[in-house]
Structure 1
Amino acid sequence: MFNNKSTDIATALVDQATHAADQVARTSQQLAHGAIDGVRETSHQLRVKAEHASDNTVRYIQHEPVKAMLIAAATGAALMALISLISHSRSHH
């Protein structure tokens, strides 16, 4: 039913489609690896920053314990006031 020319064209089209699919797969894999590497690097940077902030906080508390307690108390009071406002506004609606 098909002649050699039709078969050759079909084979060429299949080869092109296979090559395009392979390229898409390789590109997708490269993008996925790049995204994973980016997430790893960002995670590492955040961990380092958190450790640095924790160290700074400990040093501040050691050197300024009274100020640290006053800051903690003020922060707690502010959070309680905020929670109270939110719960109060929800109970009226």
Structure 2
Amino acid sequence: MAGLKAAVARLRRELASYRVEFTDRAVAEEEIAGLAALAAEGSPDPARLRRSLLLIASAVGSVSALAGGMRDVRHAVERFDSPAATV
């Protein structure tokens, strides 16, 4: 859980410091806030985590400045998947 919280916090900071506007920035910010809330709950639903991850990835597109934060969030979300779900 700590890894997810840290990854979400990093991505949130990186997005806040990225001053260039892009079309779906509000979507990314909303989903990052949602991920933070899920992480605060203590036992988030893996399907909901994956959905948020996909929405954030779609929203930020190819913004390379956010690639590190996205990678960390993806790895943190993958830790919540069961071994049978990851192929």
Question: Considering the TM-score relative to the shorter chain, is it more than 0.5?
Answer: no
Normalized per residue, the structure richer in helix is 1
TM-score of the superposition, structure 2-length normalised? Answer: 0.30
TM-score of the superposition, structure 1-length normalised? Answer: 0.29
Structure with the larger RCO, 1 or 2 (CA within 8 Å, 6+ apart): 2
